[in-house]
Amino acid sequence: MELNVAAELKLAGKPAKRHFEEELGPIDFGGHELRFIMPVCVDITYVFDGEGFSVSGVLSSRLRMNCTKCNEEFDQDFSVDFSERFIKASEEEADELECYPFSGEMLDLDRMVLDLIILNAPLYGLCKPDCKGLCPICGCDLNTMQCSCSSSVKNANFASLEELAQLLNDEEEV
Ligand SMILES: [Zn+2]
Ligand SMILES: [Zn+2]
């Protein structure tokens, strides 16, 4: 995504707006794959203040994710409000000031967009707030079926609680 700012460089203080949409391939991040199923949309307001550009707006898209509990695929929207600054400087100088560099009459937004996605995209999520997950014993999806493991686990727990109560009673009697 590139922003031609030739006009704005001559009009300090006058904000301008742009809308970008771009299809992004999967992004690998920390062992996760971010999979976009909608174009990444960026609505930008930018203004030149004589030295640099204040760039703010909203980035949004939709990701296909796997539920942390049951591993089913689901789609999740995400959007990020941002406010960044671009200055006419080398990459190192800009990095030091926590800004993005630009030169000439173009703002290259790709790095900012990638940073915003990596820092803000959800990596974990549930297919639904009350996802029951998988049975830890047989691995069946407890959202769609009820196995018999869970009831025997419960019984086992009750049994051990009764045993514990019995042990405590025994101790008291001593
Ligand atoms: Zn789930
Ligand atoms: Zn089970």
**Quick one: 64 and 138 in the same domain?**
no
Domain identity same for 55 and 106: yes
Same domain, 28 and 56: yes
- What distance in angstroms lies between residue 69's CA and the mean position of ligand 1's atoms? 5
Among 173, 124, 163, 132, smallest CA distance to 150 is for: 132
Report the number of distinct structural domains present in the chain: 2
- Is a pLDDT exceeding 70 seen at residue 163? no
Instruction: State whether 111 and 143 are in the same domain.
Output: no
CB atoms within 10 A of CB 152: 11
Q: Do 10 and 91 belong together in one domain? A: yes
Q: Is residue 126 part of a domain?
A: no
CA of 76 relative to ligand 1 center, distance in Å: 13
Q: Which ligand is nearest to the CA of 130?
A: 1
Instruction: State the first-to-last Cα distance of the chain, in angstroms, to the nearest integer.
Output: 79
Q: What confidence tens digit (pLDDT) does each residue in 74-84 have?
A: 999 999 999 99
Dist. CA 145 → ligand 1 center (Å) = 13
Q: What is the span of the domain harbouring residue 156?
A: 132-174
Q: Does 112 share its domain with 33?
A: yes
Amino acid at 100: Y
Please report whether residue 43 resides in a domain.
yes
**Ligand 2 center to residue 148 CA distance, Å?**
6
Residue 43, judged by CB atoms within 10 A of its CB (0-12, 13-18, 19+), counts as middle
Instruction: Tell me the CA–centroid distance for residue 86 and ligand 1, in Å.
Output: 41
Span 121-150, mean pLDDT? 91
Element (H, E) at 120: helix 110-120
Instruction: Output the pTM of the full model.
Output: 0.78
One domain for residues 108 and 140: no
Cα separation, 122 vs 68, whole angstroms: 12
> How does strand 16-22 pair with strand 32-36?
unpaired
Q: Which residues contact 13 (CB under 8 A, 6 or more apart)?
A: 47, 48, 49
Q: Is there a single domain that holds both residue 115 and residue 136?
A: no
Report how far ligand 2's centroid is from the alpha carbon of 37 (Å): 33
Whether residues 77 and 140 fall in one domain? no
What does the radius of gyration of the chain's CA atoms come to, in whole angstroms? 27
The alpha carbon of 149 and the centre of ligand 2 are apart by a number of angstroms equal to 4
- Residues 14 and 80 occupy one common structural domain: yes
In a domain? residue 107: yes
How remote is the CA of residue 133 from the centroid of ligand 2, in Å? 11
Do 78 and 107 reside in the same domain of the chain? yes
User: Which residue has better confidence, 39 or 152?
Assistant: 39
Beta bridge partners of 57: 44, 82
* pLDDT number for residue 149: 87
